[in-house]
Amino acid sequence: MSKKVSGFSKLNKTQKIDWLIQNCFYGDATFKAILLSYWNSNSKLQQLHDEFIENTISNFYLPFAIAPNFLINERLFTIPMVIEESSVVAAASNAAKFWLDRGGFKAEVLSTTKNGQVHFNFFGDKQKLIAFFKIVKPTLFKSIEDFEKNMKKRGGGLLNIELIDKNSKLPGYYQLHCTFETADAMGANFINSCLEQFAKTFKKEALLFSDFSQSEKEIDVVMSILSNYVPECLVRAEVSCKVDKLTTPEFDGHYFAEKFIRAIEIAHVEPRRAVTHNKGIMNGLDAVVLATGNDFRAIEAGVHAFASRTGHYSSLTNAEIHGDTFRFWIEIPLAIGTVGGLTSLHPLVKVALGILQYPNAKELMQIMAVTGLAQNFAAVKSLITTGIQEGHMKMHLMNILNQLNASSDEKEKAIVYFQHTTVSHTAAISYIESLRK
């Protein structure tokens, strides 16, 4: 059990670690050594990371990998991926290679509008509120002119403000529903600053609106915040080819296409499958979101809400055979940025964006959607053919060998041995034990 502490954030890093060792590890300094071993010897770089968040004690590494051979809209990309799950990058690369020989991926951005709300209570006369909103709307637009300047230069800004009556859901609940274009920025700070300003201006102007009674004048703002539900910020990615072209030495194209479509149909009707199906999509997508310094929690929340938009949680991907052509596609909401936030701060994010040839936000939306689609293709392809464990355990073998403290020589031998033997934890232990005898 940890102890209550006050003024903790004022301690320096070493003091924080010492406190931790005393309070959570009964004074065992081995844990201090582990934490220190992850500090970067470049003190400037370390300081940069320390200052991203509060109470930093060390760095937490995740592997940074690349998946080559992604042909997207006739351009070849190498995709940076940050993820810990062993088989994800290999699966993405396989899918990229599979589609490279079949015309590659096509992607397009369908819309880029983001949104946020000022949520407020109003228990007075709705008609008066509507009249007030009409009058105050230009003032609201004007109130953000200063911080909109930069955004406007980059082609973004406020698009519209609507008064929405939500009384049918919650008595007295209204909102100012505001829509924005944020160009290459994710725009969270811009949107939230605008919303907070709208709330202030709205309240102030209401006090001066003579048609309101005294109680109506005192509009009660509950909160002002952007929404991570962005169904108007949509990207679509797709692959297609003649069904015959799907034939490989392992399977017949027609059989594969039919079974693939059946798997997608199951993910459409069965939420238990849909969640895992979509998790597979997010394996690829999140890895690019992380590598490019975007907010994976926002993306996750928005994507899964979108997957439930009909009131039924369902697959994010679709597949069909039309005539003699197999088509597989995804439509997904992605509010991301290539400027601002971590994109300009984290040196590895700059590298990731460099690997992608410095895309703008629309291009990055396309790349992310393609990676999600590729990942889903790879997963479903494995599931309906060999099963996923074969590939998964092959990739996981290295983790097991590391757990067993295998030497380089033992690892090399094990990799050769398990090329033709089913990998399991037990099998790996007995193989290493047999080597060590």
Residues contributing to the site for ligand MEV (CB under 6 A): 85, 276-277, 279-280, 283, 379-380, 383, 388
Active site residue 54: no
Q: Which is nearer to ligand MEV, 66 or 388 (CB)?
A: 388
* Lookup: tokens for 431: 């193989």
Catalytic residue, from 13, 18, 85, 411: name it. 85
Active site residue 254: no
- Nearest CA-CA partner of 123 in 161, 174, 199, 187: 174
| Phi and psi torsions of 164, nearest 5° | -120, 130
Which stretch of DSSP H or E encloses residue 221? strand 220-226
Q: What minimum distance in Å lies between the beta carbon of 96 and ligand MEV?
A: 17
Measured distance CA(55)–CA(337) in Å, rounded: 27
Q: Which is nearer to ligand MEV, 264 or 361 (CB)?
A: 264
Residue closest to ligand MEV, measured at CB: 280
Q: Which is nearer to ligand MEV, 69 or 315 (CB)?
A: 315
Residue 37 neighbours by CB distance under 10 Å = 8
Measured distance CA(82)–CA(167) in Å, rounded: 44
Q: Which is nearer to ligand MEV, 132 or 256 (CB)?
A: 256
Q: What minimum distance in Å lies between the beta carbon of 378 and ligand MEV?
A: 8
Among all chains, which residue has been given the structure tokens 């996923």? 388
Contact (CB, 8 A) for 175 and 151: no
Helices (H), 308-407: 347-355, 361-384, 389-403
Q: What minimum distance in Å lies between the beta carbon of 383 and ligand MEV?
A: 6
Catalytic residue, from 184, 295, 363, 381: name it. 295
Q: Which is nearer to ligand MEV, 142 or 272 (CB)?
A: 272
Active site residue 85: yes
Q: What minimum distance in Å lies between the beta carbon of 276 and ligand MEV?
A: 4
- The single-letter DSSP state of residue 76 is E
Catalytic residue, from 16, 268, 381, 392: name it. 392
Helix/strand/coil for 108: strand
* Lookup: tokens for 117: 């709300």
Residue 7 neighbours by CB distance under 10 Å = 6
Measured distance CA(398)–CA(380) in Å, rounded: 24
The amino acid at residue 417 is: Y
Measured distance CA(105)–CA(235) in Å, rounded: 13
Catalytic residue, from 97, 279, 350, 362: name it. 279
* Lookup: tokens for 344: 């300009």
Q: Which is nearer to ligand MEV, 287 or 404 (CB)?
A: 287
Q: Which is nearer to ligand MEV, 133 or 329 (CB)?
A: 329
Q: What minimum distance in Å lies between the beta carbon of 267 and ligand MEV?
A: 8
| Phi and psi torsions of 403, nearest 5° | -60, -30
Contact (CB, 8 A) for 66 and 81: yes
DSSP conformation letters of 149-197? HHHHHTT-EEEEEEEEE-TTTSTTEEEEEEEEE-TTB--HHHHHHHHHH
Helix-, strand-, coil-residue percentages of the chain, each rounded to 5: 50, 20, 30
Measured distance CA(325)–CA(252) in Å, rounded: 15
Active site residue 304: no
Q: Which is nearer to ligand MEV, 177 or 279 (CB)?
A: 279
Q: What minimum distance in Å lies between the beta carbon of 280 and ligand MEV?
A: 3
Distances (CA, A) of 372 to 62, 89, 176, 217, 243: 19, 12, 34, 49, 22
User: Which of the residues are catalytic?
Assistant: 85, 279, 295, 392
